[in-house]
Chains A and B, each alone.
Chain A
Amino acid sequence: DTGVSQNPRHKITKRGQNVTFRCDPISEHNRLYWYRQTLGQGPEFLTYFQNEAQLEKSRLLSDRFSAERPKGSFSTLEIQRTEQGDSAMYLCASSFSITEAFFGQGTRLTVV
């Protein structure tokens, strides 16, 4: 296991389309986080899973966003009816403790 893996790396979609991103965390990590990063800014928290339970969601996560982590393994983040403002880097991180988080390479979403 070489780290957190995210797919796809890049996604270009037309406004109004739905997109889904996948995150495969480090295998022994029970904590999984999604963040969003726009150009020139630090990442912002979106949501947190402990095993399969989604325990926290940010106000940034509108009703067009949904995240799942079935069986506490990989996670998916879906955005419905994409808008241009959704264009960003979507980052997944996993951890075993609250003091260290390891990030994937991210999925760059461009909505045209």
Chain B
Amino acid sequence: TQLLEQSPQFLSIQEGENLTVYCNSSSVFSSLQWYRQEPGEGPVLLVTVVTGGEVKKLKRLTFQFGDARKDSSLHITAAQPGDTGLYLCAGVRAGGTSYGKLTFGQGTILTVHP
């Protein structure tokens, strides 16, 4: 079983629609990061959330960290074809080493059709 469960795994929507990607765990994380990855490239950091209940906005993207720091969500408003890609959540487990080792979810493949 995955430590971080991402859902949905695949999302195919029309331009202009809204969407939400979820990242859930039974473990507590000291921080959680969201990445976007293009085919054949490395993940690009979008945002880091560290405080329970925290909400961060990046243009049309809104990120939330759950109050208990076990879950997070990414909401995209008015999706555009340029948002197409693999979205990954990754967290640093609380209570472990302080090395910053990331545990990743399986990813959500988003396709936005024009």
Residue ranges of A at the interface with B (Cβ–Cβ < 8 Å):
4, 6, 31, 33, 35, 40-45, 48, 50, 55-56, 91, 93, 95, 97-106, 108
Contacts and interface: CB of A to CB of B under 8 A. Distances in A.
Contact of A101 (B97, B100, B106, B107): B100
A102 B43 CA distance: 8
Nearest to A56: B99
A106 B45 contact: no
A103 B99 contact: no
Contacts, number: 77
Contacts of B99: 31, 48, 50, 55-56, 98
A99 B100 contact: yes
B106 to A, nearest CB: 5
SS class, residues of chain A in contact with chain B = strand
A105 B41 contact: yes
A99 B50 contact: yes
B22 interface: no
Interface string B86-114: 00101010000111111111110000000
Given A103-B43, A108-B40, A98 B104 contact: no
A16 to B, nearest CB: 26
B45 A99 contact: no
Interface in B42-70: 42-45, 48, 50
21 contacts: A4-B42, A31-B99, A33-B100, A40-B107, A42-B4, A42-B88, A42-B104, A42-B107, A43-B43, A43-B104, A48-B100, A55-B97, A56-B97, A98-B100, A99-B30, A99-B31, A99-B100, A101-B45, A102-B45, A103-B42, A105-B41
